[in-house]
Amino acid sequence: MPTANTHAFDVLIIGSGAAGLTLALSLPASLRIALISKSELTEGNTLYAQGGVAAVLDETDTIASHIQDTLIAGGGLCDADAVRHIVEHGRAAIDWLIDAGVPFTREAQDQSHYHLTREGGHSHRRVIHSADATGQAIELTLSDRVRELPNVTLFENHIAVDLVIGHKLGLRGEAGRRCYGAYILDRKGQKVALFRARYSVLATGGASKVYLYTSNPDLATGDGIAMGWRAGCRVANMEFNQFHPTCLYHPKAKSFLVTEALRGEGAYLRLPDGSRFMPRFHEMAELAPRDVVARAIDHEMKRLGTDCVYLDISHKEAGFIREHFPTVYQRCLEFGFDITAEPIPVVPAAHYTCGGLVTDMHGRTDLLGLYAIGETAYTGLHGANRMASNSLLECLVTAQGAAEDITADPLAHEPEGLVVPLWDESRVTDSDEEVVVSHNWEELRRFMWDYVGIVRTNKRLERAKHRVDLLTREIHEYYGNFRVTNDLLELRNLVQVADLIIRSAMARKESRGLHYTLDYPEQVEGEAHATLLTPPPPR
């Protein structure tokens, strides 16, 4: 019987971005769903996505072209079957969003057609968008619809602690490889409750907060990846962290990303003297894949000793700029930059986690009853580098795939008489040294930026591994002695993800896509495979 310390649902969805919301809306109304949101329901990476969703919508575009562009951007590491599956479901995903009420931008001259833009790596205009605030439009539209569902119970300001796995309960065989829910901390009430569920879904987003500079909000701490790994799931390609080339460079402009669509509409990257530099690095210049652009900016900043480079769209008509990029225009104006009249200072920042928990197209992980969707998952779509605006498409398609799989077998069975213990705090105390958490948080993000950033070396990675091992031991001891808090849980997860990133980077003896090392600057054909890490067997 549910109490204040225990809840029971058919489906537990941890995460409330595009993937989690899409899943909640795609499941049958007969299922009882718990939707866990780490902050307010709408807060998360999706809300801040500016560009759009990539899909073949124009008659001059083709599925084959979108597939080919994705494979090229992925540097030879994409799973071709996954790419085809997700691209082929693109139009249906967009139609679903339109039916849900997402207000995509239409052509000014022909309101019967949606405006499509082009971003880095794409050979056609195929990015449908809502001005320059597509993520916000999707997040707010879907969250409004979810709030209307009587079978969905929302738990805002809650964070998952760990998953409940059969082998940790002493079960063996198939029962030992099944997930039975999770322990969840109420961030406001500071109490941990048991959420039992037939199906659990990790939709917590990526882990870019592991870096000092990031376009992501504070919530992006890799919670789902870390929990899945601790539960026994494999991870893949964690060395491929995408750095968005253009975040606004201003001391007060925390995490403000300047959408790639500006470059898609003709913006130039310039050095402090006003000269362009991207034509020297790639034939597609400013429209080169993000890894190329970010590395070029990093190279020029280090070569010149400058703090930033400049993004310039002021040669376009002012009315066009204000109409197509109202969010960027207004936000930059708040910091004293008029993008219709002058270039704006930009720097790269950690943006997207291309690796994650290994899943299939239905979001199934290595554990029965446990799914991972969105940025938390590794499907094989992105390979060594994510092509712009493919991520929201992946969220939609894999969430709907998970919904199909759960719907096909909605009544997964628990072992008869299964007893899951409540969260036990009887042997811990309140921490009297919170400074340990804040200090370790800052140290971790600093050395990850310095040693495991856009350009890497063996020596830098070794230094990072030494430091992360020390932090891991310290945090493990701290976690065992004190009551859990939001900050401690996030730090614990970030340290775990950092370790996975470092280990994956050390394993790849080449440069490919988002992983660039001065010790192995060339791409090696024999390394054209995913970097797979397997957790130790349960004890």
Q: Residue 10 CB: number of other CB atoms within 10 A?
A: 19
3-state secondary structure at position 37? strand
How far apart, in whole angstroms, are the C-alpha atoms of residue 187 and residue 15?
15
Tokens of 205: 């987003």
Taking alpha carbons only, the member of 375, 389, 334, 12 closest to residue 217 is: 375
Active-site residue, from 196, 290, 295, 331: 290
Pairing of strands 6-14, 33-37: parallel
Taking alpha carbons only, the member of 333, 332, 351, 392 closest to residue 97 is: 392
Rounded to 10 degrees, what is the CA torsion of 241, 36, 127, 259?
A: -60
3-state secondary structure at position 476? helix
Taking alpha carbons only, the member of 473, 467, 432 closest to residue 452 is: 467
Taking alpha carbons only, the member of 205, 298, 237, 235 closest to residue 76 is: 237
- Report DSSP letters for 98-143, one per residue: HHHT--PPBPSS-TTSB-EE--TT-SS--EE-STT-HHHHHHHHHH
Which residues contact residue 190 at a Cβ distance below 8 angstroms, ignoring those fewer than 6 apart?
483, 485
Pairing of strands 192-202, 179-186: antiparallel
Classify residue 322 as exposed, middle or buried by CB count within 10 Å of its CB (0-12, 13-18, 19+): middle
Q: Is 290 an active-site residue?
A: yes
Taking alpha carbons only, the member of 382, 358, 407, 481 closest to residue 26 is: 407
Taking alpha carbons only, the member of 471, 244, 511 closest to residue 353 is: 244
User: What sign does the CA torsion over 415, 418, 424, 427 have?
Assistant: negative
Pairing of strands 6-14, 192-202: parallel
Place of tokens 């405006």: 115
Pairing of strands 377-378, 235-236: unpaired
φ, ψ dihedrals at 453, nearest 5°: -95, -140
Q: Which residues carry out catalysis?
A: 290
